[in-house]
Amino acid sequence: MASLGYYEILIVLGVMCFFLLSFWGIVNGLPWNWPLVGMLPDLLLHVRRFHDRCTDVLGRTGGTFLIKGPWFADMDMLGTVDPANIHYIMSDNFSNFPKGPQFMKIFDILGDGVFNSDGDLWRNQRKLARLQISHQRFHQCLVKTSQDKVEKGLIPILEHVSIHGLVVDLQDLFQRFTFDTTFFLVTGYDPCCLSSQLPDVPFSKAMDEVGEAIFHRHVVPKCIWKFQRWLGIGPEEKLSKACKTLDCIIGKYIMTKRDELSRGIKMEEQEDGVDLLTSYLKEDEMEGLKCDDKFLRDTILNFMIAGRDTTSSALTWFIWLVSTHPIVEAKIREELKDAMPTKEANKWRLFSVEEVGKLVYLHSALCESLRLYPPVPFQHKEPLQPDILPSGHRVHPKMKVMFSLYAMGRLKFIWGEDCFEFKPERWISERGIIKHEPSYKFLAFNAGPRTCLGKEVAFTQMKVVATTIIHNYHVEVVKGHHVAPNVSLILYMKNGLMVRVTKKWS
C-alpha cells in the first residue's frame, strides 16, 4: 500500500465503492443513484427486461419511486403505480398533467393529432372523433369489416395451415388483421395485408420503424437522439425514411378519396356504413377544425397508431393465455355452446357481433388478459406546476411522471396474492355480471378525460376473432417456442407466437 500514489488510492477507493454500491443495489434491489449519470446504468443494464424491472422496483417501494437521470439530461422521472396518484393525475388534477412539450417532441411524427395534442386542440379533436366513432354509420362499417376480414382473410389462412400441418405466427396474422380492418375503418380502402401470400406492406413496415425509433427516443438522452437526427443516422435515419413513406401513401389515399367524392362515387351512405375519412371530407370544417390535408394526414396516422398494434397485441396474448389454460378454454367453449341453438353446437360456426356482445365469461377473460399484458405497457405525463401527489411525492415541471401499466397488473397490493394468475373469474360478480374495476386500477384503456376512444371497437374485433378461433380450432404453441414480451411502446411477443392449428369440426 505504501508504494501506491495518491491517484492510485483514489482509483482503488472508487472501484471499491462501485462494488460496494452495486452489492447494496443487489441487496435492496433498487437502482443506485451514481454521481453524474444518475440511475442510467441501471436502466441500460435492465433495458431488455424493462417491464419486469419496473414491477420489481415499484413493488419494493410501495408503488412510487424517483428515477434519477443523468445531471445533464433532464431525465428525472417519478415512476408510480399507486392508484390514488393515478386517479389524481388522470382525473382530479387533469389540467396540471398534460402530455406536455417533451411528449410532443418525442412523438412529433404524429403531428397535431388527437394523441399528440393538449388543450383546446386536443379537446376539439376528441369531441369530433368521439362523435364519428359513436355514430351508427361507423358501427355498421365496424361490423361489416370485422366479419368480412375474418371470413375472407383469416379463415382461408387458418384452413390452409391446418390442412397442411404448417406452423404459423399468429401474432403476424393478427397484426395483418388489425392493420387491414383499422385502415378500412379509417380510410375506406382495404390494403389486403392479410392474404395468403402474406405480402410485405410498406405502410405497415414504416409504422413498425416509427415505433422502434420513438422507443429509442424514450431511453436515450434527448441530446443524443437529436444529434442522431441531425446527422441522419441510426434509428433517426429510419424514422425519417418511414415518415416519407407514410406521408406519401396517406397523401395518395386522401387525394383519391377527394376525387371519388367530387365525382359522386360512394357519396350515398350505404348499408355497410361509412369510414372516418369520408365523414371528415364531407365537411370543410367541424368543431372549429379545418379538415384540410394536414389535418386529415394527422388524423389517419393517429388512428392507425391507436388501433392497429394495440388490438393485435391484445389478441396475441389472449389466444396464448387461453391455449395454455385448458380450464379457461373449456369454459369459453361452454359459454359459446350455450349461446347457440343445440343442433349447431358441434359444427363449424361463426358468431355475429350481436352474439359476441352478450358473452360474459369471454369478456372477463379478455379483461384478465389485458390486466396481465396491457398493449400500452407504460405512459408518461409532465406536470405544468409543482405539485404534491396523494402518496406525498413532489413533482415539478422539469420531470416526467411515468406509469407502468404492466407493473400495475402484477402487484399484490393492487390485485391480491393471486395477481400473477390468469383468472377470469375475478372479473365476474356474484350476480354473474362483469365486475366494474375502476380505470385508475385497470389502466389498460387509460383513465379520465383521455380514456381510449376505441375501447368498444377493440372489444368487438377481439371477440369476433377470438370466438372464431376458440370454437372452430385447436391452437397449440410449437414445442420449445419461447414466449416473452418485447421492450417497446407496444407490448408484443418478441419471438412472435408460433403455433399449429387443427380444425375441430370436419
Q: Which residues fall in the annotated binding site for heme? A: 452
- Ranges within 338-397 binding ligand HEM (CB under 6 A): 375-376, 379
The binder of ligand HEM chosen from 450, 464, 475, 498 (CB under 6 A): 450
Q: What SS3 class is residue 475?
A: strand
Compute the distance between CA of residue 41 and CA of residue 75 in angstroms, rounded to an integer. Answer: 13
44, containing H or E segment: helix 40-45
Q: What is the DSSP letter of 381?
A: E
CB 472 within 8 A of CB 315: no
Determine the residue with CB nearest ligand HEM. 454
**Residue (77 or 457) nearer to ligand HEM, CB:** 457
Q: Is the Cβ of residue 40 or residue 90 nearer to ligand HEM in the bound state?
A: 90
Which stretch in 155-163, 260-268, 383-391, 441-449 sits in contact with ligand HEM by CB under 6 A? 441-449
CB 180, min distance to ligand HEM, A: 13
Report the distance separating Cα 380 and Cα 290, nearest Å: 29
Among 57, 90, 129, 498, binds ligand HEM (CB under 6 A): 129
User: Minimal distance in Å, beta carbon 323 to ligand HEM?
Assistant: 19
**Binding-residue pattern over the window 272 to 291 for ligand HEM, x denoting contact by CB under 6 A:** --------------------
d(CA 173, CA 155): 11
Q: Which is nearer to ligand HEM, 183 or 225 (CB)?
A: 183
Shortest Cβ distance from residue 26 to ligand HEM (Å)? 34
- Cα separation, 317 vs 366, whole angstroms: 9
**Of residues 190-249, those binding ligand HEM (CB under 6 A):** none
Closest approach of Cβ 123 to ligand HEM, in Å? 9
Helix (H, G, I), strand (E, B) or coil at 6: helix
Binding-site member from 88, 203, 295, 303 for ligand HEM (CB under 6 A):
303
Stretches 256-264, 309-317, 349-357, 414-422: which one binds ligand HEM (CB under 6 A)?
309-317
Residues in contact with 70: Cβ distance below 8 Å, sequence separation at least 6, in sequence order: 36, 37, 38, 40, 221
Q: Where are the alpha helices (DSSP H) in 283-425?
A: 293-323, 326-338, 353-356, 360-372, 405-408, 412-415
User: For residue 347, what is the DSSP state?
Assistant: S
Identify whether the C-beta of residue 121 lies closer than 8 Å to the C-beta of residue 439. Answer: no
**CA quadruple 298, 131, 122, 393: dihedral sign:** negative
Please pick, from the candidates 54, 306, 328, 464, the single residue that binds ligand HEM as defined by CB under 6 A.
306
Residues 492 and 212: their CA atoms lie apart, in Å, by 12
55/316 with CB nearer ligand HEM: 316
Quote the least distance from Cβ 361 to ligand HEM, whole Å. Answer: 18
Select from 157, 158, 457, 497 the one that contacts ligand HEM (CB under 6 A). Answer: 457
Query: Using CB under 6 A, which of the segments 6-14, 187-195, 216-224, 442-450 binds ligand HEM?
Result: 442-450
Q: Residue count at the site for ligand HEM (CB under 6 A)?
A: 22
Specify the residue, 183 or 351, whose C-beta has the smaller distance to ligand HEM.
183
Among 84, 452, 477, 483, binds ligand HEM (CB under 6 A): 452
Whole-number Cα distances in Å, 135 to 142, 180, 279, 355, 502: 11, 21, 10, 20, 39
Cα–Cα distances (Å) from 308 to 32, 176, 278, 314, 458, in that order, read 38, 9, 20, 10, 10
Enter the DSSP assignment of 167: E
Nearer to ligand HEM, 50 or 183 (CB): 183
Q: Based on the shown chain and the rule CB under 6 A, indicate whether residue 111 belongs to the binding site for ligand HEM.
A: no
Contacts with ligand HEM by CB under 6 A lie at 114-115, 126, 129, 303, 306-307, 310-311, 314, 375-376, 379, 444-446, 450, 452-454, 457-458
